[in-house]
Structure 1
Amino acid sequence: MRVRGDYIKLMVLAIAIIGLYGFSDHRSKARTINKIYIKFLGDNALYLTEGAVNKLLMKNYGSLKNRPKEEVALNTIEQLVESNPMVKSAQVYFTVNGDLITEIVQRRPIGRVEGATKFYLDNQGRRMPLSKNHSARVPIITGKITGKSLEDAYVILEYINKDDFLRMNVIGIHIEDEGKYQLKFRMENFVVNLGGVKNLNEKFKNFMAFYAKAAKDKTLEKYAVVSLEFDNQVVCTKI
C-alpha cells in the first residue's frame, strides 16, 4: 500500500509540474512587448543611429510595442538589422520583463577611398558606404583604384594599424599602379615610396631606423622622397 501511495504522490507531483509549466508557457506567449531598446556595442558606434534602426524596424514591422511576443521572429529581425551596410552583427532577444533588446556591432572603417566612387574600406577588407552621421579619420586612398590595388591597400592598412606611430602619422595611400604604393605622412613634407606589399615588416623596420636618425639630426625637412622599394635599403631624394 505504501508503494501505491508513493506512486500516487509522484503522479500528482508530475501533473502539477506539467500544469505549472503549461501555465507559465501560456503566460509567456500571451505577454506583449513592453519596451524596445537599441544598444550599440563597442567604441565604434558612430555611423548608424538609434533613430535609423527604429525607422528600419517600423518600416518592415510597424509598431512592435505592445505586440504579442509570439508574433515576433527574433531571427528575422536580426537578419533585417544586419542587412544595413553599417552593421557588422546584431543580436535580438527578450528580457524577462518583456523588453525587446537589439544589440548592434557596427563596422569599423580603416581607410577611405576617394575615386570615381567614394567609400570606406573596413577592417575586414570589405567596401563600406560613407555615413552622413560621422566622417572617420582614416587614411585617404587615392590613385588607380582596382580590386587588386584595394586588396594591397588593405594589407598596408592592417600593418599600419598595428603600429602606434604609423597609425597616428600615415594619412594617405596613393596608388601609382598595382604594386606601386606611396604613403603620405601627417607632419612631414616627404612621401614614402613603399613599392609593393612584400616584406612590409623589413621595409618599415628600415624606415623607422631612418626616421629616428633623421629626426635626431633634424634633417627630416630636407627630404622630398623616401624610397623603401629596394631590398634592405632606404634611398632618399633631397628637396
Structure 2
Amino acid sequence: MKINWNYIKTFLLIGAVFVLFAFAEKRNSTRVLSEVNLHFTNDENLYLTEEAVNKLLIQNEVRVKSVGKETLDLNRVESLLEAHEMVENAEVFMTVDGKLGAEITQRKPLARVFGENTYYIDRQGLKMPLSEYYSARVPLVAGISEKQLKEVQPLLSYINEDDFLKKHVTGLQRLEGGRYELQLRKLDFVVFLGAVNDLETKFKNFKAFYLKAMKDKKLNAYTKVDLQFGNQVVCTKK
C-alpha cells in the first residue's frame, strides 16, 4: 500500500497548530495580572509600591485570562485596590491595546499621632497606618484620641495648605476642652490657638506678630503667644 506522505504532513501540521493554540490558551488563562500599567496620581513619595499592588492582585487571584473576552470585572479590581489601607481612590480601565491600566491616588497624611499608638491622620480626617516604604515629614500630634481626629482635621488642612505654617509648625498638643497649642521650628515659644475656629483671623494675626517680632529681633523674647482673643495677640515674655 502506497503511503501518501502529503496527507500525513498536513495532519501533523494541523495537529501542531492545535497543540500550540492550546498551550497559548492555557498560558494566558493562568497568567497573573502582574503586567498592569500603574500610574500614581500623587506627585510625591510613594507610600505604596507597584510591587505591593501586584502582590495584592496575585493574592486575590486576579488574572488576565478574560481580558480579551471583556468579562474581567473592572469594578472588582477597583474595589480590591481601594480596600488597601494606603489607597484613597483607584480607577481601573482597559487601554486601546488591550492591556489593563490603573490610576491610583494614595492617601495623603497631614500629621502623625504620637502616643501609645502611632499612626497618621489623612486629609479626610481618618486614621492611616504608617508605611513601610516611606516616612512622611508632617507635624506630630499629641494628646488626641481616634474620636477627635475629625476635630483636628480642619486645623491640619489649614496648616498643610499654608506655606508659612507648613514650614514652621512642627507639632500640635491637644489640651482639655478641645484647645490646641502649636510648637514651632527653632523657636522657644508655644502658640496657644485655643479652639479650632476663626483660623484665618488667628493665623493672620500671628503672621503679623511674627514679622514684627522678627524685624525687631524679639522672637526669642517670649514663652507663649496667645491667639484666642479675637483680633489681638497676647504675648508672655520670658
Q: Distance in 2 between matches of 1:135 and 1:61?
A: 30
1:235 correspondence with 2:238:
no
1:77 correspondence with 2:70:
no
1:92 correspondence with 2:92:
yes
- Describe the superposition over 1:69-99 as per-residue Cα deviations: whole angstroms up to 9, x where unpaired: 1352111011001000110111112223221
Q: Distance in 2 between matches of 1:201 and 1:94?
A: 45
Q: Is the 8 A contact 2:193 2:227 kept in 1?
A: yes
SS at match of 1:116: coil
Q: Distance in 2 between matches of 1:101 and 1:109?
A: 25
Name the stretch that deviates more: 112-121 or 217-226: 112-121
Superposition deviation, residue 45 in structure 1? 4.9
CA 1:128–1:136 in 2, change beyond 3 Å: closer, same or farther? same
Instruction: Give the TM-score normalised by structure 2.
Output: 0.80
Q: Is the 8 A contact 2:45 2:134 kept in 1?
A: no
Q: Is the 8 A contact 1:38 1:103 kept in 2?
A: yes
- Counterpart for residue 108 of structure 2: 108
SS at match of 1:61: coil
Q: Is the 8 A contact 1:115 1:145 kept in 2?
A: no
- Counterpart for residue 170 of structure 1: 169
Q: Is the 8 A contact 1:153 1:173 kept in 2?
A: no
Q: Distance in 2 between matches of 1:129 and 1:147?
A: 16
- Counterpart for residue 179 of structure 1: 178
Q: Distance in 1 between matches of 2:202 and 2:102?
A: 45
SS at match of 1:183: strand
- Counterpart for residue 66 of structure 2: 68
SS at match of 1:96: coil
Q: Is the 8 A contact 1:45 1:106 kept in 2?
A: no
1:156 correspondence with 2:155:
yes
Structure 2 residue identity aligned to 1:48: L
CA 1:145–1:177 in 2, change beyond 3 Å: closer, same or farther? farther
Q: Is the 8 A contact 1:189 1:223 kept in 2?
A: yes
Q: Is the 8 A contact 1:40 1:103 kept in 2?
A: yes
Give the count of matched residue pairs.
206
Q: Distance in 1 between matches of 2:106 and 2:50?
A: 12
What is the identity percentage for the equivalent residue pairs of Structure 1 and Structure 2?
47
Map 1:1-239; keep pairs closer than 5 Å. 35-61=35-61, 64-65=63-64, 67-69=65-67, 70=69, 71-145=71-145, 147-148=147-148, 150-239=149-238
Q: Distance in 1 between matches of 2:145 and 2:96?
A: 51
CA 1:85–1:144 in 2, change beyond 3 Å: closer, same or farther? closer
Structure 2 residue identity aligned to 1:147: K
| Structure 1 gap segments, 5+ residues each | 1-30
Q: Is the 8 A contact 2:127 2:146 kept in 1?
A: no
CA 1:127–1:144 in 2, change beyond 3 Å: closer, same or farther? closer
Q: Distance in 1 between matches of 2:96 and 2:230?
A: 63
Structure 2 residue identity aligned to 1:84: H
| Structure 2 gap segments, 5+ residues each | 1-27
Q: Is the 8 A contact 2:92 2:101 kept in 1?
A: yes
CA 1:207–1:77 in 2, change beyond 3 Å: closer, same or farther? same
